[in-house]
Amino acid sequence: MSPPADDIATKESVPFVAAAGAAAPAEALSGAATGWLAGRHLLIAAAIVVAALMPFFFKSFVTFQLTQVMVYALAILGLNILTGFNGQFSLGHSAFYGIGAYTAAILMHDYDVGYVWTLPAAGAVCFAVGFLFGLPALRLQGLYLALATFALAIALPQILKFGPLEHWTGGVQGLFIDKPDPPFGLPIDSDQWLYYFTLIVLLLLFLAVRNLARSRTGRAIMAIRDHPIAAAAMGVNSSLYKTLTFGVSALYTGIAGALGAIVVQFVAPDSFSFLLSVSFLVGLIIGGIGSIPGCLVGGIFVLYVPNIAESISRGLAGAIYGIILLIIIFVMPSGAAGFVRLANAWLAGKWRPNPTARSTLGQPRR
C-alpha cells in the first residue's frame, strides 16, 4: 500500500524550508558583520577628520590640553602592551616616561638635536632600559613584579637629583627647552603644529600596536598572558617574549615622555613621581585593559578629571576625584571599551532577527 501523495509532499518540503530558514540567518549575520566592519572603519575615519579640525575651533590652551591627552594616551598604550596584552603588572612606567622626557630634553638642550630625532632616541634608550630591567624581572610575577617596578618609580626622581648628574639633568631646577616652530612656513602657530605632530605619531603607533596584536608575535604574547603553561608546551619562548614586551612597552612610554617634554617645554625630577604611574594605571583601567582605543579615554580621564575635581572644591579635590572614580568603576567595571562592547551586544540583540524563526511557507495547515 503506497502512502498518500500529500504526505510525501509534506515530508519533502519541510527539510527544504528548514534549510532555507537556516541559510537566511547565516547570510544575515555575514552581512551584519560586514556592515559592522564598514561602520567601524567609517567611524575611525570620521574621528580622524574631527581630530584634524579641532585646533581651528578651540583656543591655544585647549589645543595644548588635547595634545597632552594624546601624550598620556600613548603612555597608557605602552602600559597596555605590558599589562593588557602580556599580563605583567607594572607600577613603574613613570620612570620610563621620565627617561624618555629627559633623553629628549638633554639632546635638545645640550646638543641641539632636532626634536623629531629625539623621539627615536628616547624610544631606543627606554627599550634598552626596559629590556635590561625585564631580564631579572623574569623571576618575578604578580605583586612581586609590581614591587620591583614600584622601586624603579621611586628611585628615578632621586637619581635625577643626584649631584654628579646635575650637569645633564639640571638637578632640582630641571631643564627648559624651546618650543619648535611649524616647518615649511605653515600658517599655524606652535601649539597647533605640536598638536598635529603628536596626532601623527599617535596614529602611527596605534596602527603599529594593532598590527602587532594581530600578528604571530602578538598572539604568542597574549597566549603567555592567558595560558602560560600551554604556550610553553606549544614552543613559545616565554622568557624572550616577556623581556621583549617589557622593552616595547618602555619604548612606547619613552616616546610619550619625549613628546610630553617637547609639548610642556620643561622637565624636572618631581614631575615623574610614583603618582604618575598610578595615574597611568588608572587611565588603563578606565579605558579598558587590552583595548587600544580605550587608551584615549584613559588619557582624557587622567588630564581632565583631576582638574574637574579641583574646580569643584580645592580642599576636597582628592575626595571628589575618588568619588568620580568609584562611580565610573561601578558603572563601567570593564572600562569604557567593555561598556561599548556591552552596548553593541545589547543593540545587536535587540535589532537582530530571531535566527530560530522558521517560515511556514509550504507546511501543511493543522
Query: What sign for the dihedral angle of Cα 282, 337, 334, 323?
Result: positive
pTM for the structure as a whole: 0.85
Task: Report CA torsion sign: 74, 75, 76, 77.
Answer: positive
Residue-wise pLDDT tens for the chain (366 aa)?
A: 445 544 444 444 444 344 444 444 445 445 555 655 677 788 888 999 999 999 988 888 999 999 999 999 999 999 999 999 999 989 999 999 999 999 999 999 999 999 999 999 999 999 999 999 988 888 888 788 889 999 999 999 999 999 899 989 999 999 999 989 899 888 889 999 999 999 999 999 999 999 999 999 999 999 999 998 899 888 889 989 999 999 999 999 999 999 999 999 999 999 999 999 999 999 999 999 999 999 999 999 999 999 999 999 888 999 999 999 999 999 999 899 989 888 888 887 765 555 554 444 444 444
Residue pair 206/75 in contact (Cβ under 8 Å)? The answer is no
Number of CB atoms found within 10 A of residue 153's CB: 24
The CA distances from residue 60 to 67, 195, 360, in Å, are: 10, 10, 65
Say if residue 295 is exposed, middle or buried (CB neighbours under 10 Å; 0-12, 13-18, 19+). Answer: buried
Neighbour tally for 239: CB within 10 Å: 13
C-alpha cell at 24: 537566511
Give the three-state DSSP class for 267: strand
What is the C-alpha separation between 337 and 320, in angstroms, rounded?
A: 24
> Could you give the angle at which helices 143-160 and 93-111 cross, rounded to 10 degrees?
30
State the angle between helix axes of 294-312 and 60-80 in degrees (0 to 180), rounded to the nearest 10: 130
Cα-Cα end-to-end distance for the chain: 25
DSSP 128-173: HHHHHHHTGGGG--THHHHHHHHHHHHHHHHHHT-GGGHHHH-GGG
C-alpha cell read off for 279: 595615574
DSSP class of 352: S
Q: Which residue has the cell 572603519?
A: 41
